[in-house]
C-alpha cells in the first residue's frame, strides 16, 4: 500500500473519530455522557471533547503512542512513517499531534463552508449591529 494512501486513510479516520466524539451521540449515548461528565469537571476540560481543534491534538498523540509502542512493525501515523526505524518517538508524537490537529481543522472548515453554501449563508456575514451584510455587493 502506498504511503500517500495510508496518510489519506489516516486523515479520514482521525477526522471521523474526532467528529464522532465531538458531535455524535454514539452507541448508548456514550459520547454525550463523556461530554456531560467533562463539563462537570470544568469548562476547559469539556472543550477538550467538543472543540475540533483540541480533540484531534489528543487523538494525534494517542494514535502516535499506540502506533509507535504497541504496533511498532506497522507505521500508520504520518510521522511514524517518516521517522520509521529511528528512535525519535518524541518527535513523532509532536509531529503527529500537529499534523492531526491541522488536517482535521482544515477538513472541518471545508465541511462547514460547504454546509453554509447549502444553507445559503456563505455570502452573508453578521456585523456587530446584528445586521446581515451581503458580501457580494
- pLDDT for 15 equals 96
- pLDDT for 137 equals 47
Q: Is pLDDT at 30 greater than 80 in this prediction? A: yes
Q: Is pLDDT at 52 greater than 70 in this prediction? A: yes
8 Å CB contact between 63 and 21: no
Helix ranges (H only) for the chain are 3-23, 30-41, 43-47, 54-65, 78-82, 89-119
Lowest mean pLDDT among 24-28, 89-93, 120-124: 120-124
Mean pLDDT, the chain, integer = 87
Instruction: Report the range out of 13-27, 31-45, 112-126 with the highest average pLDDT.
Output: 13-27
Residue written as grid cell 477538550: 48
Q: What is the pLDDT of residues 97-108, one digit of tens each?
A: 999 999 999 999
Residue that wins the pLDDT comparison between 5 and 130? 5
- pLDDT for 47 equals 86
Q: Which residue ranges make up each domain of the chain?
A: 3-134
Q: What is the pLDDT of residues 58-112, one digit of tens each?
A: 999 999 999 999 998 889 999 999 998 888 999 999 999 999 999 999 999 999 9
- The pTM of the full predicted model, rounded to 2 decimals, is 0.80
- pLDDT for 57 equals 94
Distance between CA atoms of 102 and 120, rounded to whole angstroms? 27
CB count within 10 Å of CB 7 equals 17
Amino acid at each position: 500500500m502506498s504511503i500517500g494512501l495510508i496518510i489519506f486513510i489516516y486523515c479520514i479516520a482521525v477526522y471521523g473519530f474526532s467528529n464522532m466524539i465531538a458531535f455524535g451521540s454514539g452507541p448508548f449515548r456514550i459520547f454525550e455522557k463523556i461530554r456531560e461528565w467533562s463539563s462537570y469537571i470544568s469548562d476547559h476540560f469539556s472543550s477538550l471533547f467538543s472543540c475540533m481543534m483540541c480533540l484531534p491534538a489528543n487523538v494525534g498523540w494517542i494514535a502516535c503512542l499506540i502506533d509507535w509502542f504497541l504496533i511498532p512493525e506497522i507505521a500508520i501515523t504520518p510521522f511514524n512513517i517518516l521517522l520509521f526505524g529511528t528512535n525519535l518517538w518524541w518527535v513523532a508524537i509532536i509531529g503527529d499531534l500537529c499534523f492531526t490537529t491541522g488536517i482535521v481543522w482544515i477538513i472541518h472548515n471545508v465541511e462547514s463552508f460547504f454546509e453554509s453554501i447549502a444553507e445559503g449563508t456563505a455570502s452573508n456575514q453578521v456585523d456587530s449591529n446584528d445586521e446581515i451584510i451581503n458580501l457580494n455587493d
